[in-house]
Copies of this chain bind each other. A is one copy, B any other.
């Protein structure tokens, strides 16, 4: 899966990344088997992380509309204990949030020791939608890539593991998914007419994402470009990267505070 990791300093052209790639799986059936095993493994790792209360884990998901952020969260974290896992969805900023710097609302939700926090959208919107829609002048958003790198570096140096995923879909796949939302009344709640306007800005968003991927994939907080046209493969990639990262930590249950030998519970 390392082929999907963005090497720091590389100049990303998304046209060179195939959204329907399934290269690291034999086929869908084999991929789903592996995913099921990863799911179980993640459950154990998360429990240990929580018990040890030493490491912090921050997972950032970004994608075009219908890119599959909600689905990835639901499937990849299926079965983990919600006690130690928080999902934070960042929507349009409130007036109070807008009155502060753009990292203010984000920093409040970064993980504590033992926690996994998943950002469904994130501070990257402040160089994505904000850039595409000219919500602040270029001179302002241009500086934010450096802010973000420094912010994430501080988090990492203070004990956070950061994993960032761009769920990469094709415009064709987006069309299919938007149509499915229109056709199915149980999906109407997810259909937003404004998404059609955003869809027309596709090339602008691609350019903004290319800048994000090229400028903010760092040694300490790398991006993974996830081929996301096929949902089973998207889940497999995300889960593999997370499980490998957790296995790289020295996760272990903490020593009991006292020697428990010989203790009798009457």
Contacts and interface: CB of A to CB of B under 8 A. Distances in A.
Interface of A: 53, 56, 96, 99-104, 107-108, 110-114, 140, 143, 147, 150-151, 153-155, 157-160
Contact of A107 (B53, B103, B140, B143): B103
Contact of A108 (B108, B140, B155): B108
Contacts of A154: 101, 103, 147, 150-151
9 contacts: A56-B100, A100-B110, A100-B111, A100-B112, A100-B113, A101-B160, A147-B150, A147-B153, A150-B150
Q: Assembly of this chain: how many copies?
A: 2
A174 to B, nearest CB: 32
A95 to B, nearest CB: 9
A114 B96 CA distance: 12
A161 B204 CA distance: 33
Given A100-B112, A104-B110, A108-B107, A157 B147 contact: yes
Nearest to A96: B112
A151 B103 CA distance: 10
Given A107-B108, A108-B107, A101 B158 contact: yes
